[in-house]
Amino acid sequence: MRIGLFVPCYIDAFFPQVGIATLELLERFGHEVVYPRDQTCCGQPMANSGFNTDCAATEALFVRNFSGFDYVVGPSGSCVHHVRDNFDAIEQTADVKEVRSRTYELVEFLHDVLKVDAFPWARFPHRVGLHNSCGTLRRLKHATPSELHEPFFSKPMDLLSRVDGIEFVKPARPDECCGFGGTFSVFEEVVSTKMGYDKVGDHARAGAEYIVSADSSCLMHQQGCAERIGVPLKFIHIAEILNGASA
Amino acid sequence: MTNSAEQLPGRAMLHPEMVAAEDNQAMYRDGHRLDHAEGASKPLRSRPEPQPRGAKIHGNRPIDQAEAAARFIASPEHEKMHDERLWDLRQKRDREMHHIPEWEQLRSLASAIKEHTLTHLDEYLDQFEAHARANGIHVHWARDAAEHNRIVHGILSDHSAKSLIKSKSMLTEECGFRHYMASVGIEVIETDLGERIQQLDKEDPSHVVVPAVHKLRTDVAKVFADTIGTDPENSDVHYLAEAQREATRPLILAADAGMTGGNFVVAETGTFVVCTNEGNADLSANVPKLHIASIGIEKIIPRLEHLAVFVRLLSRSALGSPMTQYTSHFRGPRAGGEMHVVLVDNGRSERLGLEEFWTSLKCIRCGACMNTCPVYRRSGGLSYGATYSGPIGLIIDPTFNARKYSNLPFASSLNGSCTNVCPVKINIHEQIYAWRRELVKRHDVPLVKKAAMKAAGELLSRPAAYRAAIASADVALAHLPRFVIYNGLNAWGKHREVPHPPKQTFHSWYKANRGGTQ
Amino acid sequence: MTSRDDILESIRASLPRVDRPLPHVPMFDEDPPASLLSAFKDSLERMGGIFLDPPASGDVLAPVRVKVASAKVVCSTVPEIAGNRDIATVSATQELADVDFAIVRASFAVAETGSVLLSETDLNINALAYLAQHLIVLLDPADIVVNLHHAYRRPEFRERHYASFHTGPSATADIEGVLIHGAQGVRSLSVLPIARIYQPQPTSPQEKKHD
């Protein structure tokens, strides 16, 4: 199949290794992966701040870039959530609806569409704390959130448990928000960073060496918090582990 | 205790309960410490951390929730207790949920019953009124807060009542009721312990269920020492609670009238239901001859069988307790007594007409969204500067005053936990998102933010300009946060590190390594 | 225009134009506990209530007599055990302020929550159950329903003017989450399982005039 690779703006600028891992991982399964060069952003920063009309042009550009693929796949839960659930600043033409419905976050794409059951190249002999971002957990429904009385499942855990050597730790508050929240991280920076401190502290106390997540934005925030208060944690995107990163 | 304790390093590490209280006998007559035997030569017990106060109110100017939240976080003992206390309630709630196999079904039923009732609100209010009147209850209708206060004042005047004992009611907070009653010379005595603490401290409740949850025991000791004469050095919780009971009981016995709110109203029987843990509503309702209940029009449900669904959900969601200690059903006055119900609109009928927000009227004021909210737990309820705080406050407060509460819908990371714990399935986080749009539409957002978002939208829709702006990671670091986040790196970097710029962007890696194809 | 008409008109103008049928509420009783009495006891104790186990001697009322032995004022509304304050002579609620123990019988109880229902018929004067320092409730084990869905089918809610579920004693945790019994109301609530010695007439509640 032909996959459009969606690399959100902050991954492009700050976490190129996540984009590379996503690209290589999808290619390992024999698919044609195309990175449309004119892509910028999905419009989420403006939309989340209430400025929906200001993202119309950006959304239109996204649709131009990603029309015609079998699937659009991006390694970022919150961006995919925006495209799929909120992306309504522009007229909802057939093209727009098509692109929106074909857009997938990497974990759910691997789990639900490709139904991958082995990553023979991957080995990660470390203790990790899994951070399900709120976008993947409560919007894209990667896993059962702790608030609901529903049978337990976790797509990222399913995938990661197929990686040789990996060991999970159990933080006390497994799915409390880490405080990133897009523009919230600067609009309410004191609360945001306090949430971040508490989050990295919780994982560290549980014995994690790494925090792994499907959202680099949460990791960027948590890493900034951990470094500021001196919590010796490392941060890694799930795409990197699944693609065989060793550390 | 002396000031020197304040200078001790690691003061914040000392939990108040770890060190014994000062013994005044262990002093010389001149006040110096005795330090024989194991006695320490200086006091090791820290001074109580002063209570952080809530948001600063400047008339109609937008509340700065972030500023007040920062002050709350700067009081680590308060913040830590508050966060852990409410997280504990959330965990108790989860435990109860797991005991009830039909939990999610109950939530769906509760939501459906409320939505049905709200879409037939006029009919059910009419039914309630007819049945309540037939049972001997006087029913009044109040369009707004002022009319509510006038009606209650009128009833009290008719009975020459000068003192009123009442149980906690968010509606009367909404109406500025205590303030009004003070202005007409009627003494109001709150009988819920937490609400009484707040009344004596001249503060609003910070939480809909546990009004003084933001206070440490030392704060309460200070309030009680100043108002009901307890020992200022004694912050033992049992002592404080008992002192309050003893101080309030004579006021309850002497009161001319009693007032309660109402958690639920049953149309088919003309019943209203009041839930408390202290039994204070039942004292307020049953000791004086006159009982007035102030109730919002959205509290109604059709039949008794529906009540079971809500009573099963309410306290489990609120406190992780299977039931409130007291769940009292009032269907008519008792022998020799008189009962009045004031049905209050105060903006509710208008809210019912807001397409995106009317389901917020399903709220049963359990506070579960507050307990789970990571922002609320770290900010304190008074940081919102409004009657309703936390997630539900973010979507209700702007209906009262869109300008004054225009910042509140931004005091959320949109994590969605509130929606999942809500026993009546209000899509709270989606309404928070929708309010942001609404406030931008109404121009109730700062101009600088507006300009930044417009600029961001323009840059992100033009690939060439965008590429130039983030040509290298270093350049990106200078530009990216500025357009992704309107006020730049300052706020990001104050309390956390900025990301480490990589050697190249993904875009340039791709060009270098996969350059040929597109 | 009256406020009533004003509000109803404003509601009608705002009513969301969506179809929301009233759902059917199941009884959720497919899996009842083996013993309603022991389920009730477990629930009651979780809520801070005291369950008075019948003593081996067979003297069912002994635990109550032990409790009230040193009390100055005992007010009973039940025929099984006498107090020293006759509720029939009380003319104002305030006169109950010095009651140490009140002894009443519950209309019925709920196993799911450990609640007992007390109404004006059971209390004679409602304030008794709140002004007393301690409350002892007699409960016929035959009067226990499985859950709140069954409870709300009971006639008391359509017949009585006042009906209150008591689920343990008065409690608060308003200061730092520290649990305190006896915040404003009773400091303890004890339940004694004991069959009714006569059948009450639910259709003609014996309401006493007071005040």
* Backbone torsions φ then ψ of B55, nearest 5 degrees: -60, 145
- Across-strand partners of B140? B342
Residues A63 and A93 occupy one common structural domain: yes
Nearest by CB: B358 against C16, C23, C43:
C16
Yes or no: say if B302 and B113 are a contact pair by the CB < 8 Å rule: yes
Do A154 and A96 belong to one domain? Answer: no
CB contact under 8 A, A193 and B496: yes
Measured distance CA(B97)–CA(B442) in Å, rounded? 40
Please check whether residue A160 lies inside any domain of the structure.
yes
Residue C30 has pLDDT above 60, yes or no: yes
Show the tokens assigned to A188.
């309410």
List subunits contacting chain C, requiring 3 or more Cβ pairs under 8 Å. B
Please check whether residue C10 touches B, CB under 8 A: yes
Does a structural domain hold residue A186?
Answer: yes
pLDDT at residue B1 above 50?
A: no
Q: Are strands B163-166 and B187-190 parallel, antiparallel or unpaired?
A: parallel
Please state, as a whole number, how many other Cβ atoms lie within 10 Å of the Cβ of residue B364.
24
* Chain segment C171-196, per-residue pLDDT in tens: 999 999 999 999 999 999 999 999 99
User: Which pLDDT score is estimated for C123?
Assistant: 97
Q: Last residue of a domain, which of A80, A113, A146?
A: A113
Cα angle B175, B181, B187 (rounded to 5 degrees) comes to: 130
B87-94 average pLDDT score: 98
Q: Is A97 found in the same domain as A134?
A: no
The answer to whether residue A247 is domain-embedded is: no
Residue A144 lies in a domain: yes
CA distance B405 to B410: 10
CA–CA distance, B271 with C157 (Å, rounded to integer):
8
Closest-CA residue to B201 (of B184, B186, B185, B218): B218
Read off the amino acid at residue B34: L
In a shared domain, residues A102 and A208? no
Contact assessment for residue A192 and residue A181, using Cβ atoms and an 8 Å cutoff: yes
Question: What is the 3-state secondary structure of B210-239?
Answer: CCCCCCCHHHHHHHHHHHCCCCCCCCCHHH
- Residue A76, classed as helix, strand or coil, is strand
Chain C contacts of B280, Cβ < 8 Å? 183-185
The answer to whether residues B381 and C39 touch, using CB atoms and an 8 Å cutoff, is no
Choose the weakest-confidence range: B26-30, B365-369, C44-48.
B26-30
Question: Does residue B429 carry a pLDDT above 60?
Answer: yes
Q: How far apart (Å, rounded) are the C-alpha atoms in residues B381 and B370?
A: 9
**Whole-Å CA distances, A153 to A147, A148, A213, A228, C34:** 13, 12, 16, 34, 33
Per-residue pLDDT tens over the stretch B252-301: 999 999 999 999 999 999 999 999 999 999 999 999 999 999 999 999 99
Q: How confident is the model at residue B29, as a pLDDT?
A: 62
Q: What is the mean pLDDT of residues B455-475?
A: 80
Using CB atoms and an 8 Å cut-off, which of residues 56-115 of chain A contact chain B? Answer: 56-58, 60-61, 86
Identify whether residues A106 and A131 lie together within a single domain.
Answer: no
3-state class (DSSP) for residue A128? strand
What was the ipTM of the complex prediction? 0.96
d(CA C88, CA C84): 12
Residue A209 belongs to a domain = yes
Report which of B260, B210, B215 is spatially closest to residue B92, judged by C-alpha positions. Answer: B210
How far, in Å, CA of B48 to CA of B37, rounded? 27
Whether A10 and A75 map to the same domain: the answer is yes
Please report whether residue A118 resides in a domain: no
Look at A168-182, B1-15, B225-239, B380-394 and tell me which has the smallest mean pLDDT: B1-15
DSSP state of A1: -
Which chain C residue lies closest to B335 (C-alpha atoms)?
A: C209
Does residue B401 have a pLDDT over 70? yes
C101 strand-pairing partners: C74, C134
Say if the Cβ atoms of A224 and B438 lie within 8 Å.
no
Question: Which of A60, A81, A113 corresponds to the end of one domain?
Answer: A113
Q: Is C23 on the interface with B (CB under 8 A)?
A: yes
Domain count for chain A: 2
Mean pLDDT of chain C: 93
CB nearest to B496's CB, from A41, A139, A196: A196
- What is the distance in angstroms between the Cα of B513 and the nearest Cα belonging to chain C? 56
Instruction: Name every residue whose Cβ is closer than 8 Å to that of residue A176 and which is 6 or more positions away in sequence.
Output: A195, A198, A199, A202, B374, B417
Average pLDDT estimate for C30-43:
97
Q: Which residues of A86-118 are buried (b: 16+ CB within 10 A; e: fewer)?
A: bbebbeeeeebeebbebbbbbbbbbbeebebee
Please say if the pLDDT value at position B238 is more than 60. Answer: yes
Residue B11 has pLDDT above 50, yes or no: no
How far is Cα A44 from Cα A135, in angstroms, rounded to an integer?
12
Q: How far is CA B70 from CA A177, A193, B210, B505, in A?
A: 18, 11, 22, 35
For chain C, list the strands marked E by DSSP.
Answer: 50-51, 74-76, 101-105, 108-110, 115-119, 134-139, 144-145, 162-166, 171-172, 180-181, 188-193
Tens digit of each residue's pLDDT (9 = 90 or more) over C104-139: 999 999 999 999 999 999 999 999 999 999 999 999
Across B239-250, average pLDDT: 96
Task: Please tell me the predicted confidence (pLDDT) of residue B480.
Answer: 53
Give domain status of residue A104, yes or no.
Answer: yes
Instruction: Share the mean pLDDT of chain B.
Output: 90
Cβ neighbors of C146 (< 8 A, separation 6 or more) are C29, C32, C33, C36, C39, C110, C111, C112
Residue A181's identity, in one-letter code, is G
Residue B16 has pLDDT above 80, yes or no: no
Q: Do B323 and C208 touch (CB under 8 A)?
A: no
The pLDDT value recorded for residue B30 is 66
Q: What is the pTM of this model?
A: 0.92
State which residue of chain B sits closest to C159, comparing Cα positions.
B331
User: Which amino acid belongs to residue B463?
Assistant: P
Q: Which pair of tokens denotes residue A70?
A: 């079998």
Q: Report the C-alpha gap between B412 and A69 in whole angstroms.
A: 35
C and B make contact (3+ CB pairs below 8 Å) = yes
Q: State how far the Cα of B505 lies from the Cα of B509, in Å rounded to an integer.
A: 6
Q: What pLDDT shows up at residue B492?
A: 80
pLDDT at position C35, please? 97
A194 vs B contacts (CB less than 8 Å): 73, 79, 378
Q: In whole angstroms, what is the distance from residue C112 CA to residue C115 CA?
A: 8
CA distance C123 to C109: 15
The region of weakest confidence among A215-229, B39-53, B131-145 is B39-53
Length of chain A: 247
Q: Which residues of A touch B372 (CB under 8 A)?
A: 147
Measure the CA–CA gap between B251 and B165, rounded to whole angstroms. 8
pLDDT, residue B427, reads 98
A238 and A208 in a common domain:
yes
- The yes-or-no verdict on residue C205 having pLDDT over 70 is no
pLDDT, one tens digit per residue, over C159-171 is 999 999 999 999 9
Distance from CA of B92 to the nearest CA of C (A): 12
Single out the residue in A58, A86, A113 at which a domain terminates. Answer: A113
pLDDT band at B516 (very low <50, low <70, confident <90, very high): low
| Residue B472 pLDDT greater than 70, yes or no | no
Distance of CA B133 to the CA centre of its chain: 34
**Domain spanning C33-195: CATH superfamily:** NagB/RpiA/CoA transferase-like (3.40.50.10420)
Tell me which residue range forms the domain holding A32: 2-113
What's the pLDDT score for residue B455? 83
State yes or no: pLDDT of B489 exceeds 60.
no
Percent of chain A clearing pLDDT 70 (strictly above): 100
Give B458's contacts (C-beta < 8 A, 6+ positions apart): A57
Contact across the interface for C11 and B309, Cβ inside 8 Å: no
Query: What was the pLDDT predicted at B207?
Result: 97
- What's the CATH number where A147 sits? 3.40.50
Residues lower than pLDDT 50 in chain A: none
